[in-house]
Amino acid sequence: MGRPMVAGSSILCSALEALGIEVVFGLPGSQSIELYDALRRSPLRTILTVDERAATFMAQGYYRASGKIAVVMAVSGPGFASALAGLAEARHDSAGLVLITVTDNRYPDKKFRLQILDQPTIAGPVAKAVITIASADDLAQKIADACQLAASGEPGPVVVELDKAILTATAGYSPTGKINSAQTPLPLDDEVDKIAAIIEDAKRPVLYVGQGAVGASDQVVRLAESLGCPVITTCSGRGVIPENHRLSFYFDYAPGVGGETINRLIEQADLVLALGCKFTHNGTGGFRLKIAEDKLVHIDASAEVLKANYPARLTIQADIPAMLERLSADNSRFSASDWSES
pLDDT tens per residue, range 94-153? 899 999 999 876 656 766 666 677 888 988 899 999 999 989 999 999 999 999 999 887
CA distances, 258 to each of 139, 163, 282, 284 (Å) = 49, 50, 12, 10
Dihedral sign from CA coordinates of 133, 138, 140, 146:
negative
- pLDDT value, residue 1: 46
The third-level CATH classification (topology) of the domain covering 5-180 is Rossmann fold (3.40.50)
* In the chain, domain spans: 5-180, 189-341
User: Which range (76-90, 173-187, 257-271) has the least confidence?
Assistant: 173-187
5-180 matches 189-341 in fold: yes
CA distances, 293 to each of 262, 296, 298 (Å) = 16, 5, 10
Question: What percentage of the chain exceeds 90 in pLDDT?
Answer: 52
Angle between helix 320-328 and 217-227 (nearest 10):
40
Amino acid in position 22: E
Mean per-residue pLDDT over the chain, rounded: 87
Cα–Cα distance for residue pair 57/263, rounded to 1 Å: 33
Cα–Cα distance for residue pair 178/63, rounded to 1 Å: 16
Q: Each residue of 15-48: pLDDT tens digit?
A: 999 999 999 999 998 888 899 999 999 999 999 9
Residues whose CB is less than 8 angstroms from the CB of residue 98 and which lie 6 or more positions away in sequence, other chains included: 69, 70, 71, 72, 143, 146, 147, 150, 157, 158, 159, 160
- pLDDT value, residue 231: 94
**Number of residues that make up the chain:** 342
Kind of pairing between the strands at 5-7 and 170-172: antiparallel
Mean pLDDT of 194-209: 93
DSSP-based three-state secondary structure for 104: coil
Q: How confident is the model at residue 294 (pLDDT cuts 50, 70, 90)?
A: very high
The third-level CATH classification (topology) of the domain covering 189-341 is Rossmann fold (3.40.50)
pTM of the model: 0.80
